[in-house]
Structure 1
Amino acid sequence: MTGSKAVQAHKGRPREFDADSALDKALHVFWQRGYEGTSLTDLTEAMGINRPSLYAAFGNKEELFRRALDRYAERGPSRALREALAEATARGVVALLLKNVAHALTDPGNPRGCLAVQGALTCGEASDAIKQELCKRRSEAEQMLRERLQRAKDEGDLASDADPAQLARFVSTITQGMSVQAAGGASRDDLFHVADMAMTAWPG
């Protein structure tokens, strides 16, 4: 398939569908129901295509989910980290990250919580490859933050005895907890309070 258009068979006649739009709809379903909780019927109904068209355009369910994860990284809460890393100080990075995460997790236009966190929590043995992929992506995000904090330490922005790896793990634990809280109905203000309390523990 080239471009964002794909072909769907409909009543014996081919018609085009927008693959980007279909992928966005698949992402929404995965985000709301999790990988294992999403059936092929759920996907085809949401995307407005039949199974042969889904297979032709996106491969199987697992491949579609990985494509949806890539889209999620571009548009979902994953973008919060990329924006925060550009801040001038380590404290600024973390403060903006927590604020951005609180906003993203409670965006009324999206399902509650974080796809990467919720998806890994609900994956069973049959979907171990998906669980490992989600864990890998979360680990990569933590590594990006750790590298940024290490640079802050090297530049004297963090104390010489600060541990970038432990600080990155602390922040990741807070954001993952915020995701679980958001999925359970916590408001944006609730998450802002969590972020504020986390920043009180940040080294001066």
Structure 2
Amino acid sequence: MSSATPAIGRPRAFDEGTVLDRAAEVFWRHGYEGASLTALTSAMGINRPSLYATFGSKQQLFRRAFARYHETQVATAHAALDQPTAYAAIEAFLRSSADSLTAAGHPPGCLSVQGGLACSPENAGIAEILAAGRAATESALEQRLSRAAAEGDLPPGVDARALARFVMAISEGHAVHAAAGTRREDLQASVDIALRAVAPRS
């Protein structure tokens, strides 16, 4: 009988954060259902057994990849809400979003919009994950605008929820246009128009 000690708890031969980023890009580019296991494992640089052993399933991989994306990519948009006024926060939110949607180094547009808006019934959970991510961003924006209203930084009677949804609709619409090839300067020109609708009235 061999006296060799079995290898227990052997460390992974890959960096989990890196492979999640690569998986996110595949989902971003092709959508959840369009992202094949072959495309995913090729981009991630791992084989299928490693994928299943580490992440369990394609859906669990997507959940992990999207969570990482949401933390890293959306953090910039949330930081915009730290601006001192509601108008400045909205402007920073929309401009940083337009910049991110057209940045080099990743597919154009937004994973939370492109990843799975249209899914078959068996993958409805994917659309729900993405909708929850967008709703969390909208909720953070609504909270910021509600605080602005309470502080008198918005005109009396402004509906903070409706205003937050308006801002999100602009940002999400920009994601669709960016994915179709719209240039950054054209998105920023659209931001200029949107800001006129929310500019403080003298």
Identify whether the pair has TM-score above 0.5, normalized to the shorter chain.
Answer: yes
Distance 1:6 1:105 in 2: 36
- Counterpart position of 2:61: 64
Conservation of the 8 A alpha-carbon contact between 1:90 and 1:157: yes
Give the distance between the partners of 1:90 and 1:144, measured in 2 at CA.
13
The structure with the greater share of residues assigned to strand is: 1
CA contact (8 A) 1:36 1:122 kept: no
Higher radius of gyration, 1 or 2: 2
- 1:145 matched to 2:141? The reply is yes
**SS of equivalent residue, structure 2 residue 198:** coil
Give the aligned partner of residue 11 of structure 1: none
The answer to whether 1:117 aligns with 2:93 is no
Cα RMSD (Å) of the superposition?
Answer: 1.3
Structure-1 separation of matches of 2:171 and 2:147: 21
1:45-56 equivalences in 2 (<5 Å) = 45-56=42-53
Aligned residue among 191, 196, 201 for 1:200: 196
Q: What is residue 90 of structure 2 aligned with on the other side?
A: 94
Q: Could you tell me the percent identity over the aligned residues?
A: 46
Aligned to 1:135: 131
Does structure 2 retain, via aligned residues, the 8 Å contact 1:35–1:119?
Answer: yes
CA distance in 2, matches of 1:145, 1:95: 12
Tell me the alpha carbon deviations over residues 21-57 of structure 1, each in whole angstroms, 9 at most, x when there is no partner.
1111111111111111101111111111111111111
* Counterpart contact for 2:19–2:45, Cα < 8 Å: yes
Partner of 1:25: 22
TM-score, normalised on structure 2?
Answer: 0.91
| Number of residue pairs the alignment of both structures matches | 191
Contact 2:70 2:133 in 1 (8 A): no
- For 1:12, the equivalent position in structure 2 comes to none
TM-score (structure 1 length as normaliser): 0.90
| 2:35 alignment partner, SS class | coil
Contact persistence 2:85–2:148 (CA under 8 A): yes
Detail structure 1 runs of 4+ shifted over 4 Å in the superposition: none
